[in-house]
Structure formats: C-alpha cells, structure tokens
Structure 1
Amino acid sequence: MALMQIAEPGQSPDPHKKTLVLGIDLGTTHSLIASVKNGTPVCLESADGEKLMPSIVHYTESAVEVGVQTEKTKGVDVLSIASIKRFIGRSAKEVQQLLEAFPVDYEWDFTDAAVPKVKTPQGLKTPVEISAEILKTLKKRAVQHFGVDEINSQNADSFKVVITVPAYFDDAQRQATQDAARLAGLSVLRLINEPTAASLAYGVEQDGTYLVYDFGGGTFDCSLIELNGDVYEVVATAGDTFLGGDDIDHALSEWFLATHLDGKKTKNLRSILKDAKERLSSQESVSVMDFTITRNDLTQVMEPILARTYKCIQRLLQDGRKSVKEVNQVLLVGGSTRSPQVFDGITAICQQQPRNDVNPDEVVALGALAQARKMTSKDVNHLLLDVCPLSLGLETMGGIVEKIIPRNTPIPVTKEQIFTTMKNNQSALKLHVVQGERESVEDCRSLAQFELRDIPPMAAGVARIKVRFDMDANGVLKVSAEELSTHHVASIDVKPSQGLSEEQLLEVLQAGQASAGEDINARLDKGARIELQRIIESCDHAFAEDASLLEDADQAAFAEQLKQAKALAEDAAATREDLKAMRESLNAVSEKLAALRMDKAIQDALKGTYI
C-alpha cells in the first residue's frame, strides 16, 4: 500500500523545502528584496554585488531582462521601459495626462480605455505584466541566495511577501500591485505603506509621534505614526504620487537646456545631470559639458519641488491634529533625502534635525521584511495599524455621498449602516460605491455599482437594508447589502480597473477642504428638496387612494397644496427655506387625511369582531 503525503494548513506540502519570508520595495526607479540571512535582516545582493535593482524592463523579441542590461539584450533591437510604477492601476485617459508631464521613450496602445498597454517587441503588455517582470527578477535573486534545491520555486506559497506601496496609492493601484505579485508567483501576506514600513525599520522604541518623510524616485509620501507600546498606529497620511527625484532630474534638465544650451537637446543629458545632482550632495560645484553647476543652482531648481512636499507636511499635521512641536522625531526615507537641500529644509520646517542613520534606499524593504516576519512568526510582537487614505461611501438620493469609512480610519475596518427605500413597493436597490472627500457624487470617484433585488413590497421608508463595508489590511474593499426581513444579500469585491486621475489625486483633499462650506450648503439644499419629494410622494399615494374621505373643500385645498409643492420641488431656484416652508404647509394640510385614514384602517381591522 502506498503512502499519501499530506500537509497541515499553512505548511509547505514538501517538508524538506523552505518557505521564504521576504520584504519587497517595488520602487519607481529602483527595487529591493530583503530577507533574513544568518539571523540578520538584509537586502539581498545581485550576482554583481548590487542591492539596488533598477526598475527597468528590457524587451527583445526573444528575451526579457530586468535591471542593468547584459550581453543578452545589448546590441539588438531592445525596448527599455522605466518608471512603470507611475502608470500601474491607471486608465488610458489618465496615462495620456501623465505622459504630458512625464514623457517616455516607448509607445502606448489606448484601444482599451480601462487598461492601457505598452507596445513591446513581444506584443502588447500592461503595466501589471511589466511590474510582474520586476518582481520575478527579485524572486530569482532570493532563489539564488537560498538555493534552488531548498525551495519549491514553482509554488507561490514558498514565497511569503510583504510589498510596500505609496501611502496615497488608491484601491485600483493597490489591487494592480497584488495582481502583479500573483503573476510573479508570490504569495502576498499584506501590502503596507512605504512610510509605515520605514518606521518599523528605524526601530523606534520610545512612545510618541513620528513623522516619516519619504521622498523617493517617483513618489512622495509622509505619515504621522503614533507608537504606544508595541502598537504602531498610522494616524494620518499625505502625499503626491507624481513627485520625486525624477521630477528634480527633469527640472534640472529643463534649467540646463534653457540657461546653457539655448534649448538644444543633447543625448543622455538627463542621466549626465542626474549624476551631477548626486555629486553636488558632497561637492559645492561640478563641471558638466564645460559648464559649472553649483549647489546653489541646484537649490534654486529644487525649491518649488520641495515646497510641494512642505505643503503635504502642513496638511498632514492638520489632519493628525498635531503641531510641529509635538513630533518626537522626523525619519527620512528614500534616495532623494540624501540631498543636503532636503535635510536643511526639513530641519527648518520641522524645527528639529531629522534622523537619517538608516540607509534611505534600504529602509523600506527592511521594514516590509519586519512586517512579514511578524505575520509569520511569534517572535516579533509589534502590531501595525494602517489607515484608509481617502473616504469611502455610497450615493444616496439627490446625488449626495454618505461616507461610510472616513479618511484616515485605521484598517482593517468594518463599518455598517442602515438605509431604506425611497418609493413605495420598491423591489430593488442600486448601490453606487464612491471614493473622495466631497459631498456630491459628481465630485467623487466611482468605484463600483451593484444591485440588491427581491426586496418585499413595502411602503417607502419601511424597508431596512444593512450595508456593510469591509476593508482589509491591504486597503482592498468588499461591500455587501442585506434586506433584514428576508436576509437577501448582494455583495461585490471592489476591483476597479483604473486609479484616480492625476488631477483628482493631487487636488482631492485640497478641493474637499476649499469647498467644505459650499459642499455642506449644497448637501443641505439637496436634503431639503429630497425630504419635500418624499412627503409629496406619500401624500400623492394617500390622496389617490382615500381622497373620498375628505369633504369637497378639503379635497380642493389638499390638491392645490400638492400641486404647489410639486412645482416648487421642480424649481431649481427654490431656496432651502422655501422648501422647508412648503414641507411644513403640506404636512399641515395632510394631517386631516392622515387621521381619517387611520380611523378607516382601525374600522376595517375591527370588522366582524365583537368587543
């Protein structure tokens, strides 16, 4: 009789094979992978001894290569794709908008409005597929370090990973990142925000408030983190997904072209100036193409870019209800923070010298590893509480947004709210899930729509429908609706095919704050109109069924008041006060009919009954 091999849940089906626990920083310009070697958390090196891997994918007709080119792709027709992270989770329209500010050397196909693709020698590829190639290469690096004989490299469960994302990645961008990981054969334990990962790597131990300033190659994030014992709680986040070292390189190139080359473009100018920028971190001046660039020149070029990061810090402190003096430490993250201009600027803005004693390039990957170890081992005791970056809610009557999960709510989180029907005998309810800080649906971003059917016939306002929002630790949302008398349930996993537009992402919070008063007034105006319409519908129904209970004069008065109310409800110029006054008048006129209908209902109920 043969033996059949079994495995306990969560264990490898092959007990002789290792399960690797990994932390991955999937960056715009560079990516890293970290694991534990000889008991020490480290970022794994390539065969050439490099920890940083350029996030560049090289395609030929027969090969794909990631990072630094080798003889495999040199000297042949090759397409090199850089900074693909900027485009992951975005629609064709959004990518086209981004390309105006961030031009690239490769062509796009926008036939599919929801999923744009890059034209490569191997056919059309999505940003998810291209990102998966970067993750596959990092995975191969881990296999090379720990030995192919010790790992079942074909089994995703052999690779337990935590991947970091910018704090302001929306639901679509997070979902796309998870999809890329699955394509690469990785089992994602969790996505965590890059600033949050950094705080874990810095190993802060004293209870208090920490501000993480993460200025990478393509994105900027900042977070306020409260440490209380072993609990790391993110209390607020802010950022800009289109701001990073790449933008400094672009601005420096534009400045150099205008001031020294009279606008005449030169091959490889950007990479030459990027090298000059890095040298100016330790030198007062450098020579480029027989011209001298000083550190002061670079400071002037960087000033407007850094000013945008300072505005994010101000918004962050406002959201977290903290003053600069209440921040215990500022932690610097990302290669761009090596710049003296950043160090000096943060020192001035935050009124203290920031910490930069951990390698800013490696800190995010090491923090991801710390979280991965926590999730797979009992030896690490910290608890990480991240937050929902933007409010989530439902569309209600009149296009008003009812926020279910407010912005900066710690996740994972579950929220429930009871809703009802607007019309008599309404048998179905359409639910529209939206994201944003504004009060009107038209000013927020649509995430998903679904329907709850088979609602029993009831009068308007009687049905009770429980709507539940579940957001997991990765920031991925599931919404369900249940009619409480029949327990009919409908649900949807919110997997949008595109992210926030650049304009939305950069302005959604500012617009929400700037328009707060206007939005509240608009909401109150719509609410007054909806309430009048609800009463009109109820009165219309009652009058149609039981007008005969009223005397002729009362019937005429009721009909006239109902007519005036309908006209006012349709009048776009009607004020909130007008609508409220009409509602009160209609209520007063309808009181007599309501009392007569009640008497009639009681008499009908007592027919044939002896007391």
Structure 2
Amino acid sequence: MKNHRYIIGIDLGTTNSAVSYVDLSDESIAKPQIQIFRIPQVTAPGEISRLSVLPSFLYIAGEYDIDIESTRLPWKDNSTKVTGAYARDHGKKVPKRLVLSAKSWLCHDKVDRKSPVLPWGSDQSVRKVSPVDASSAYLNHIRMAWNERMGDDEDSWLENQMVIVTVPASFDEVARDLTIESARMAGIPNVILLEEPLAAYYSWLGRHENEWQKLVSTGNLILVCDVGGGTTDFTLISLQEIDGNQRFERLAVGDHLILGGDNIDLALARYVAEKMQGTSGKQLSLDRWQALCHQSREAKESILSDAAESKTITLIGEGRSLIADTLSAKLDKTEIETIVLDGFFR
C-alpha cells in the first residue's frame, strides 16, 4: 500500500455503480476516512453533473437520434455511446438502444458473454455490444472521471492505485474472469475482486470497530443477505478462535440467484400492464413493454423515497394509433408494497 496514494473501491452494480476511496497520503491521520467519489456524467444535453452513483446504463446513439456533441464529457472521448444518468433517462424513450443489467448478463452461462447481444431483442439497426463491453464502458467512465479530477498527476491516476471491485459471492470463475477482463479493457490492469456480502460485513465491522466483540461471540453464525439490482447473495460467516486468536471464516455461499430489484420492476410493470389493458388482452410491443419497465422503476423509486404518493404511468400509442392506443394507469405506495412484500419477501 506504500506504493499507492489511494485505495479505491468500485461497486460495479446491476442498476447503479458507485466509487469510494481512502487517501493514504496524510500520515498524521491514524484512520483515514472513507469518502464518496462523485462521478461527473451527462444528465441532459449540454449538462454535466457530479452524482454519487453512475447509473449502469449504456445508450447506443443512432445517426439522427441525439446530438452526440451535446453529450461530450470533460475528457477526450469520441464514442457515440452514452453512460450514466442521461443514458438511463433518454433510453426509456428509445428502449431498443438502451443496454441495461449488463452485470446479470455477465454471469449468464447460456449466452456467449463476449458476443454483441445487447440490447437484447433490438433489431439490426442497432450496433450491439457484449456484456463484457458494457461493463468495460462503465469502468472506463469511472477511470476517466477520476483521472480528470487528478489532472496531470499520473501517480494519482486510478490505474496506478489499489483498486477493489466488488462482485456477487455467487459469481462463478468465468464471470469473475470476465469482470477482470472488463477492467483491463477499461485501462485498469490490476484489480482485486471482493465478494459483495463480505464487503458489506467488513463495512459493518468498521462501523462497530470498538464494540463488535460485544455483539458477536465465538461460534456465532452471521448470515449476510445482499439484495441487489439483479442478484441476491447469501453468505454465512462464523467467528472462530484458533490458537487463541479470533478470526472470521466464510462457511458457505448460496447458489446464484438471479432475483433482485430488476425482478421487482418487472412484476410492477406486469401489474400496471394488466391495469392498462383491462380485459382487452392486447399484448404490448417489445418497445412499449421496455418503456413500461423503465417507467415502473422510476415510479417505484420516486414513491418509496417519499418524493410522491403516487405516479401515473403513460404509454403513447404507436404509428397511426398514436392517440387512440395511448394507455395510462396509476400506481400508488400501497400497491407497490403489496407486490414487493407479498411477492418477494413472504
């Protein structure tokens, strides 16, 4: 660690990615504080904001879709792809060009994870990317954002620091290797992988540094449950005493469970679709279904954060039936809680 000024932790999430760091340069501080790196990203055409998370969305712009110059970032980037908040928000309007849940695809052993398959279901007019490419795009955005903040001080650039990337405990070796490959493609040649439930447990230990021994006894079993955007992880940890020294041991990891916030959004979208369609039984097109999923997620986040008591979700009609086929339904907090609690946690 003496060769690094910073220890940087990256949570490469299914829905959002976040970065925290510790500055080791001030030796007068016995315990350096963990800080959150606010990530610059496009939030509207010509507008850049520093946010606490980078939404894990990649938008593949079309030739006449958006003015790509209005999405340029402070660092040099000639890509026609957009990552982060604007990718998420604009993508709900053109869902066939939006890559999401790349992390879930990264551990999907039924597809070639290096092949251009995303956005899933898009037609040939979209130049697709692989799950590895998408993950690399998020990591590259984070690296370039960090380096832009550090300026010309190459010794402080992200690729020259100790970088830890979290992964689900249930990731198999292939998914872990692909995560490392994504980092290398993003210009981060050396990363340490840390299982997410262990990271959560280490965080708990850090917050209870002076009292954890009062809360945990030798032989106790600790179950860490990590419900993420695309996966749910269970890890069983025990406090053991060996040769008079106490140490924590990971005893077991749950099977890979592709169940998380994405599934809740799908359940909400299906519920709203049934309210919209009534007894007509008319199926939504793929584009309208994807738009409904995005709006359902936004409604869930807004309502459960108490920003609104309810939200009206509207799907504009297509083609000649632009007005006639417009569908609308209201979603409130009671409905969301019923679906989440009864459908997922009972």
Judge same fold: TM > 0.5, yes or no.
Answer: yes
What do the CA deviations read for 1:400-434 (whole angstroms, capped 9, x no partner)? xxxxxxxxxxxxxxxxxxxxxxxxxxxxxxxxxxx
**1:85 matched residue in structure 2:** 103
1:146 corresponds in structure 2 to 150
Deviation string, structure 1 residues 516-545 (Cα, Å, up to 9, x no partner): xxxxxxxxxxxxxxxxxxxxxxxxxxxxxx
Q: Structure 1 residue 141: deviation in Å?
A: 2.4
Match of 1:235 in 2: 251
1:211–1:225 contact (8 Å) kept in structure 2: yes
Trace 1:179-198 onto structure 2 (pairs within 5 A).
179-198=181-200
Contact 1:252 1:298 in 2 (8 A): yes
In structure 2, do the counterparts of structure 1 residues 23 and 269 end up closer, same or farther at CA, with 3 Å as the change threshold?
Answer: same
* Unpaired runs of at least 5, structure 1: 1-9, 13-17, 109-118, 308-344, 346-611
Deviation of 1:264 (Å):
6.0
Task: Determine the C-alpha separation between the residues in 2 that align with 1:303 and 1:127.
Answer: 31
Alignment counterpart, residue 272 of structure 1, candidates 284, 288, 295:
295
Q: Letter of the 2:297 partner, please give it.
A: K
How far residue 150 of structure 1 moved from its aligned partner, in angstroms, is 4.3
Tell me the TM-score normalized by structure 2.
0.66
**Mean CA deviation greater in 207-216 or 131-140:** 207-216
Query: In the alignment, what sits opposite 1:288?
Result: 312
Partner residue, 1:36: 22
Q: Deviations over 1:90-116 (max 9, x none)?
A: 455578xxx9xx9845359xxxxxxxx
The CA distance in 1 between the partners of 2:310 and 2:299, in whole Å, is 7
CA-to-aligned-CA distance 1:203-239 (integer Å, 9 cap, x gap): 2523343222211111111212224576332112215
Deviations 1:275-324 (A, max 9, x none): 322244355951424754343422332246524xxxxxxxxxxxxxxxxx
Please tell me whether the aligned partners of residues 195 and 214 of structure 1 are also in contact (alpha carbons under 8 angstroms). Answer: yes
Cα separation, partners in 2 of 1:53 and 1:103, compared to 1, 3 Å: closer
Distance 1:187 1:21, change over 3 A: farther
Q: Deviations over 1:69-127 (max 9, x none)?
A: 38xx9999x933111111115455578xxx9xx9845359xxxxxxxxxx954xx6432
Structure 1 residues 103, 303: closer, same or farther in 2, change over 3 A?
farther
In structure 2, the partner of 1:257 is: 273
Aligned counterpart for 1:129 among listed residues 133, 138, 145: 133
Secondary structure of the corresponding residue to residue 233 of structure 1 = strand
Alpha-carbon shift at residue 257 of structure 1 (Å): 0.8
Call closer, same or farther: CA 1:230–1:51 in 2, change over 3 Å: farther
Work out whether residues 150 and 156 of structure 2, in 8 Å CA contact, stay in contact via their aligned partners in 1: no
Cα contact 2:119–2:129 (8 A) shared by 1:
no
Q: Distance in 1 between matches of 2:305 and 2:126?
A: 40
Distance 1:142 1:249, change over 3 A: same
Alignment match, 2:237: 225
User: What's the CA shift string for 1:457-480, capped at 9, x where partnerless?
Assistant: xxxxxxxxxxxxxxxxxxxxxxxx
Contact 1:286–1:293 under 8 Å retained in 2? yes
Gaps of at least 5 residues in structure 2 are: 27-31, 41-48, 64-77, 314-327
Q: What amino acid maps onto 2:336 in structure 1?
A: L
SS at match of 1:106: coil
Residue type of the alignment partner of 2:51:
E
Partners of 1:249 and 1:35 in 2: CA distance: 31
Residues in 2 aligned to 1:223 and 1:277: alpha-carbon distance in whole angstroms: 28
Which structure's CA Rg is the greater one?
A: 1
Q: How far apart, in 2, do the equivalents of 1:107 and 1:91 lie?
A: 23
Matches within 5 A, 1:531-610: none
In structure 2, relative to structure 1, the CA distance for the partners of 1:300 and 1:91 (3 Å cut) is same
Distance 1:146 1:103, change over 3 A: closer
* CA RMSD, Structure 1 to Structure 2 (Å): 3.7
Task: Report the more deviating stretch, 165-174 or 143-152.
Answer: 143-152
Tell me if the contact between 1:169 and 1:241 (Cα under 8 Å) persists in the aligned partners.
no
Whether the 8 Å contact between 1:59 and 1:80 is mirrored in structure 2 is yes
Distance 2:130 2:101 in 1: 13
* Alpha-carbon separation, structure 2, partners of 1:272 and 1:125: 24
For residue 86 of structure 2, what is the amino acid of its counterpart?
A: Q
CA distance change for structure 1 residues 45 and 250 in 2, over 3 Å: closer, same or farther? same
Q: Secondary structure at the match of 2:8?
A: strand
Alignment-derived partner of residue 50 in structure 2: 49
Q: Specify which of 236, 241, 244 is matched with residue 260 of structure 2.
A: 244
CA 1:126–1:275 in 2, change beyond 3 Å: closer, same or farther? closer
Structure 1 residue 138: deviation in Å? 1.2
Aligned-partner Cα distance in 2 for 1:209–1:147: 47
TM-score, normalization by structure 1: 0.39
- Cα distance change of structure 1 residues 36 and 89 upon mapping to structure 2, 3 Å threshold: same
One-letter amino acid of the structure 2 residue matched with residue 217 of structure 1? G
Per the TM alignment, residue 249 of structure 1 is displaced from its structure 2 partner at its CA by 0.7
Q: Distance in 1 between matches of 2:185 and 2:292?
A: 36
The aligned amino acid for 1:242 is I
Partners of 2:236 and 2:35 lie apart in 1 by 26
Identity %: 25
The one-letter amino acid paired with 1:50 is L
- Give the Cα–Cα distance (whole angstroms) in 2 for the partners of residues 293 and 89 of structure 1: 32
